[in-house]
Amino acid sequence: MKRCFAESGGVGGRRPPKGKPASFFSERAKRGATVDDEQLNMEIRRFLKRFGVSAQRVIEDAVRQAVAAGTLPPDGTVTVRARLEIAGLAADHLIEEELHLG
C-alpha cells in the first residue's frame, strides 16, 4: 500500500525543513540543486569524527610530553587552534580555544 507524502516522511523518507512546504525538494531540483543532503551530512560527520579522534590523541600526547619534560605545568593552560580549509572552495574556518589542564 502506498502512503501519502506526509505519512512516508517526504521524498526518500525525508521531511522538508521546518516551515518549508512539501514541494521543497522539487523546488530545489528545479533550481539545479542536486546535492544529496543526507549523503553530504554522513560524509561530513565521518570526516569530523575522524578528525576529532585523531586531534584529541595529538593534543593529549603533546600535553603529556610537555608536562613530562617540565615545559608545561600540570595545571597550566594551552591554546589549541584548528583550521578547516576546503580545497577548491572559498571556505576557511579557524577555531581557537584555551584548554585548562588543572
15-26 tens-digit pLDDT: 666 776 666 666
Please tell me the pTM assigned to this model: 0.64
Domain with 2, as residue range(s), is: 1-34
The answer as to whether 85 is a domain residue is no
SS3 19: coil
Residue 46 has pLDDT above 80, yes or no: yes
- Residue 28 belongs to some domain of the structure: yes
| Of residues 65 and 3, more confidently modeled | 65
Q: What domain count does the chain have?
A: 1
Q: Is residue 79 part of a domain?
A: no
Assigned domain for 92 exists: no
CA 84, CA 19: separation in Å to the nearest integer? 31
Confidence band of 34 (pLDDT split at 50, 70, 90): confident
Q: What is the DSSP letter of 36?
A: -
pLDDT at 10: 47
